[in-house]
Amino acid sequence: MAITSKGLQRLGFDRSEFVLEDAGSGIYIKEWTSAQPQPSEAEIESAHAEWQAEYDSTEYQRLRAPEYPPIGDQLDALFHAGVFPADMAAQLQAVKDKYPND
């Protein structure tokens, strides 16, 4: 593995605190502007592995998201099904009444 921006970000560093470069022999930290000490390559690799495991475990979310109907359509369907609490339904109905669909 190598130094990655995801590993550095997982350690709490912002992209403005470092510049990475790949000179063909691997990625290295070209510039370190953080006030915090620069982490070791092993620390960065470990943090990247944690990030990768979390990313991989949520793949289903990324696959599902584009196939769901837009959230507005989902909420409108719930409103029409009478699922919302009365106070929320009243707020939504007030907006619908204010801007009717002629």
DSSP states of the chain? ----HHHHHHTT--GGGEEEEE-SS-EEEEEE--SSPPPPHHHHHHHHHHHHHHHHHTHHHHHHGGGSPPHHHHHHHHHHTT-S-HHHHHHHHHHHHHS---
Residue 58 and residue 15 share a domain: yes
Instruction: Print the domain residue range for 30.
Output: 5-65
Same-domain pairing of 18 and 55: yes
pTM of the model: 0.70
User: Does residue 75 sit in the same domain as residue 89?
Assistant: yes
pLDDT of residue 23: 84
What is the Cα–Cα distance from 24 to 4, expressed in whole angstroms?
A: 15
Whether residues 85 and 44 share a domain: the answer is: no
Mean pLDDT by 10 residues, the chain (102 residues): 93 97 91 97 97 97 96 93 92 94 81
